[in-house]
Amino acid sequence: MFEGLADRLNQIFKEVRRKGKLSTKDVESALHDIRIALLEADVNYIVVKDFIQAVRNRAVGIQVSQALNPAQQVIKIVYEELISILGEPVQFALKGEKPRVLLFVGLQGSGKTTAASKLARFLQLQGERVMLVAADPYRPAADLQLIRLAEKINIPVFSSEATNATSIVCKAIEKARKNGTTVLVVDSAGRSQLDNKLMQELSTIANEIKVTETLLVVDGMTGQEAVKIAEGFKSALPISGLFISKMDGDARGGAAISIRKVTGIPIQWIGTGETIDAIEYFNPRRLADRILGMGDVLGLIEKAEANLDQKQTSEQLEKLKKGKFTLEDYAEQMQQVKKMGSVSQLLEMLPGTLSRKTISSEEAEKKLIKSLSIIQSMTLRERPNPDLLNANRRRRIATGSGNEVQDVNRLIKEFKSMQVLLKIFGKLDKKTIMSLLR
Phi, psi for 121 (deg, rounded to 5):
-65, -45
CATH 3.10.20.600 fits 100-291, yes or no: no
Nearest to 75 by CA among 30, 24, 42: 30
Cis, bond preceding 99 (omega within 30 deg of 0): yes
Q: Where are the CATH 3.40.50.300 domain residues in the chain?
A: 100-291
Query: What is the spatial distance between Cα 406 and Cα 412, in angstroms, rounded to a whole number?
Result: 10
Nearest to 26 by CA among 53, 18, 8, 48: 18
Q: Are 14 and 293 in contact (CB under 8 A)?
A: no
Query: What is the spatial distance between Cα 106 and Cα 229, in angstroms, rounded to a whole number?
Result: 8
Query: What is the spatial distance between Cα 364 and Cα 355, in angstroms, rounded to a whole number?
Result: 13
Burial label for 238, CB within 10 Å (0-12, 13-18, 19+), is exposed
Which residues have a Cβ under 8 Å from the Cβ of 2 and sit 6 or more positions away? 41, 253, 290, 291, 348
Query: What is the spatial distance between Cα 119 and Cα 121, in angstroms, rounded to a whole number?
Result: 5
- β-sheet bridge partners, residue 102: 185, 213
Query: What is the spatial distance between Cα 428 and Cα 438, in angstroms, rounded to a whole number?
Result: 15
Count of CB atoms situated within 10 Å of the CB of 229:
23
Q: Are 74 and 16 in contact (CB under 8 A)?
A: yes
Q: Which CATH class is domain 3-86?
A: mainly alpha
DSSP code string of 342-382: -HHHHHHTS-GGGGS-SS-HHHHHHHHHHHHHHHHTS-TTT
pTM of the predicted model as reported, rounded to 2 decimal places = 0.67
Q: Which DSSP state fits 90?
A: P
Report the SS3 class of residue 187. Answer: strand
Work out the angle between the directed axes of helices 196-208 and 165-179 (0-180°, nearest 10): 30
Per-residue pLDDT for the chain (438 aa), expressed as one digit of tens each?
A: 577 788 888 888 888 888 777 788 888 898 999 999 888 888 888 999 999 999 998 887 666 656 657 777 888 888 889 989 888 877 777 888 889 999 999 888 888 899 999 999 999 998 999 999 998 887 767 788 888 889 988 999 998 887 788 889 999 999 999 999 999 999 988 776 777 777 888 888 888 888 888 999 988 877 778 888 888 888 888 888 999 888 776 566 777 788 888 888 889 998 888 888 888 888 888 888 878 766 444 454 455 555 555 565 566 556 555 556 677 777 776 666 666 555 555 555 554 443 444 445 567 677 778 888 898 899 988 888 888 889 999 999 999 999 999 999 988 887 877 666 555 555 545 444 444 444
CB environment 143-169: b (16+ within 10 A), e (fewer): beebeebbeebebbbbbbeeeebbebb
Q: Where are the CATH 1.20.120.140 domain residues in the chain?
A: 3-86
DSSP code string of 227-271: HHHHHHHHHHS---EEEEE-TTSSS--HHHHHHHHHH-PPEEEEE
Q: Where are the CATH 1.10.260.30 domain residues in the chain?
A: 300-437
Count of CB atoms situated within 10 Å of the CB of 331:
18
Q: Which CATH superfamily is domain 300-437 in?
A: Signal recognition particle, SRP54 subunit, M-domain (1.10.260.30)
Q: Which DSSP state fits 21?
A: S
